[in-house]
Amino acid sequence: MGKTSGAKQATVVVAALALGWLAIEIAFKPFLDTFRSSIDKSDPSKDPDDFDTAAKATTSKESL
């Protein structure tokens, strides 16, 4: 067995990574489509972890 060049090894690694990425995309396609569509529907200006505004809104409604 002869020594392989660095360029050949790099090509094989890049091809293996591309094949692995493609396999993951195909295997999890339904889940990824659902996830990507939910990201498209989300409001980037709203922070779901921001509880202060929700607490203030309920407090002001209760005091009326």
Q: What would the DSSP string read from start to end of 21-43?
A: HHHHHHHTHHHHHHHHHHHHHS-
40 located within any domain: yes
11 located within any domain: yes
| Structural domain total, the chain | 1
The predicted structure's pLDDT at residue 49: 79
Question: Could you tell me the pTM of the whole model?
Answer: 0.52
Name the residue range of residue 31's domain. Answer: 6-60
pLDDT digits (tens, 9 = 90+) for 33-58: 888 888 887 777 877 777 765 556 56
1 located within any domain: no
39 located within any domain: yes
